[in-house]
Amino acid sequence: MRVVAAMSGGVDSAVAAGRMLDAGHEVVGVHLALSQSAATLRESARGCCTIEDAGDARRVADVLGIPFYVWDMAARFKQDVMEDFVAEYSAGRTPNPCLRCNEKIKFSALLDKAVALGFDAVATGHYAQVVERPDGGRELHRAVDMAKDQSYVLGVLDADQLARAFFPLGDTTKPDIRAEAKERGFYVASKPDSHDICFIADGDTRGWLTSRLGEQPGEIVDAESGEVVGSHQGAYAYTVGQRRGLGLDRSALDGDPRYVVQVDAAANRVLIGTSDLLGVNAIRGDHARWCGPPPEGVVEVGAQVRAHGEEVPAQAWAAGDDVEVRLSGRLRGVAPGQSVVLYEGTRVVGSATIASTWLER
C-alpha cells in the first residue's frame, strides 16, 4: 500500500511511520502546518505545529529514508477547528477540538488529499486499534494501553474513513514506544508529549477566548434561589461542572461548594448550584457518526463523555442523526457540546455531539 504517515514531530507519529515502513508499505511522511504563526518556537510541552515540530518530523523522515513534505492546512484548521471552537463556546457549549480535528482535518482534508494523489491510506500515532473482521470490514477498538487510549477522539470516524486508517501503536504501551524510538535512533525519543489544546499554547483558554470575543459582563445566578451571587466577564468562559475560577463571595454562601450547572448564552448568565444539580442520566445527541452500521433498536453499550472519563453502562438508540442515551447511573458535569462515544466491549460503535442532558427519575 501507498501510505501517508501523518508526522506531528512527536515520538508517537515517528514510531507509527517506522512501523508502517517495516510492514512493507510505501510510506511518505507528511507534516501538517496547522498554525498561522508556525515560526514560533515551542517553549514547553504545550501546543504543537511549530517550526520546531516540523523540523523534528523531517529529521525522523531522514532517519527512515522516506520522502517528507509539509502540507499547509492552516486556513482549513482555522475555519473548521478554531472558529468552530469559538462559536461553540460563544453559544454556551463545550467543544472538543481534538475530535473536530480528527473529523475535519486528519481524516477528511488530509485523507481526501492523500487519496486524490494516489495514496491508499493514512497512518497516525493515535493509540487505538483497528481489527479486521472475517468479512473484510474494519472495527475501531480501544488501545492496549488504557492510560493512553485515544479511541474516544477517533469516535467521529465513519466506516469509509476507518477503511483507510492505520493506527500502528494500539497494541503497545507508551513506555515501550519511547524505548523503540530510542532503539531506532529518533531524536524525539524523549520529547515531552503535547497536551491540552494545541492552538492555545499557554493553556489559558479563558484568556484566548476573551481576546477574540471581548469582555461581556454578566451575572452569576444561584440556580435554585434565582439570586444574583456574582458577576463574570463573559459566560463563554465557563463550562458545566466547573468549580474553580468562579470568583464568588464565599461568605454569601453556605459551606457547600458551587459548580456551574448551566451556561445561558442568550442571557449571558452563568447558573451555579450544588453538586446535587450536576448529576444526569439521560443524554440526547445530534451529529451522529457511526464507525460501522448504525445500531438497530435499543442496544446495550458503554457511554463515555470525556477523553479520559469513565465508561458507564447505558442503553442507546439512534433516530437519523440523533441519538438517545440512558445511563445506568448519574454522571456529573456533562456539558452540551461534548461528545458521547458509545462502546460495545472495546469496540467503538460511534459518537454524537451532546445537545441536551437531564435527570430522568
| Residue 254 one-letter amino acid | D
Residues 129/141, Cβ–Cβ less than 8 Å:
yes
For this structure, is 49 an active site residue?
no
CA 148 from centroid of its chain's CA atoms: 13
Cα 165 from Cα 224, distance rounded (Å): 49
Cell of 336: 452540551
Residues 158/118, Cβ–Cβ less than 8 Å:
no
Pairing of strands 165-166, 121-123: parallel
For this structure, is 198 an active site residue?
yes
Given the residues 48, 49, 98, 198, the one annotated as active site: 198
Cα 303 from Cα 327, distance rounded (Å): 8
Cell of 157: 470516524
Dihedral over alpha carbons 95, 99, 101, 102 (to 10 degrees): -170
Pairing of strands 269-273, 218-222: parallel
Q: CA angle at residue 54 from 49 to 55, to 5 degrees? A: 140
- Which residues, 6 or more positions from 127, have their beta carbon under 8 angstroms from its beta carbon? 12, 143, 145, 148, 149, 150, 151, 167, 169, 170, 174
Given the residues 48, 49, 98, 101, the one annotated as active site: 101
Q: CA angle at residue 357 from 352 to 359, to 5 degrees? A: 140
Q: Which residues participate in catalysis according to the annotation?
A: 101, 198
